Amino acid sequence: MPKPSKPYLQIPIVECGDPLVPIPLSTFARQTPHAYAALGAPYGQASPFWVRSQVLQALIEAQAHLQLTHPHWQLLIFDAYRPIAVQQFMVDYTFAQVLQARHLQMESLSDIEQQNIWDQVYQLWAAPSLDPQTPPPHSTGAAVDVTLWDAQAQQSIDMGSEIDELSARSHPSHFAYLAKDPHIEASARTAAQQANTHRHILHTAMTAADFQRHPGEWWHFCLGDQMWAWLQQQAHSTTEITARYGNIEP
């Protein structure tokens, strides 16, 4: 099936050679067991808790900014580095999950029906491209999926939806609109406002360290890859910006 061409993939990459490094467990909270590894995703000798060294420094800076206003909160690292084989595994897994949720069989779908499902999958997942000019963001070591963790209460902060949820609730502004909807109950508006506030806190901390947020995912932040450069360029339309991170294999 044809894969979507996302606008950030037109950004040129000038690889800087910054190495992959482990995200220290002592500094951040993390998702354990790792969600994709638990499904059997083929990491080999790689770790989902690796990032480029400059990205790690930015994560440290983002958490320090977060703790200026919320001293007991941490960034929880859900996912970071993905080999392209893992990206392929998760794309295929998500497609199969959509089929299962809808009680569909692959062999009974028309080409158009298959394409409609792939379009939904690729709203959430980048194409697992082997082309060095169009790497999936996570395969560059420059993208992280993060949420908030209350280290004092030992619990995650309510963000309104789960990471990787294939629904409208994943959009960063979803609860901002819902909080203003006069047609829903006051308690639902209050919950929506809380989720929106938490998303804003996360966004503020990450962007203070120069990260950019994925336009359609509240949890996905990047620094130095094609998506980051493209988003930077949207904000500064007169400036030509290149990506400094391409695909990297351990």
- Residues contributing to the annotated binding site for Zn(2+): 138, 145, 220
Report CA torsion sign: 229, 206, 91, 84.
positive
3-state secondary structure the chain: CCCCCCHHHHCCECCCCCCEEECCCCCCEECCCCHHHHHCCCCCCCCCCEEEHHHHHHHHHHHHHHHHHCCCEEEEEEECCCCHHHHHHHHHHHHHHHHHHCCCCHHHCCHHHHHHHHHHHHHHCCCCCCCCCCCCHHHHCCEEEEEEEECCCCEECCCCCCCCCCCHHHCCCHHHHHCCCCCCCHHHHHHHHHHHHHHHHHHHHHHHCCCEECCCCCCEEECCCHHHHHHHHHHCCCCCCCECCCCCCC
Torsion on CA atoms 173, 23, 30, 94, rounded to nearest 10: 60
Choosing from 162, 165, 217, 240, which is the catalytic residue? 217
Which residues fall in the annotated binding site?
Answer: 138, 145, 220
Residue 217 is among the residues annotated as catalytic for this protein? yes
Active-site positions read 217
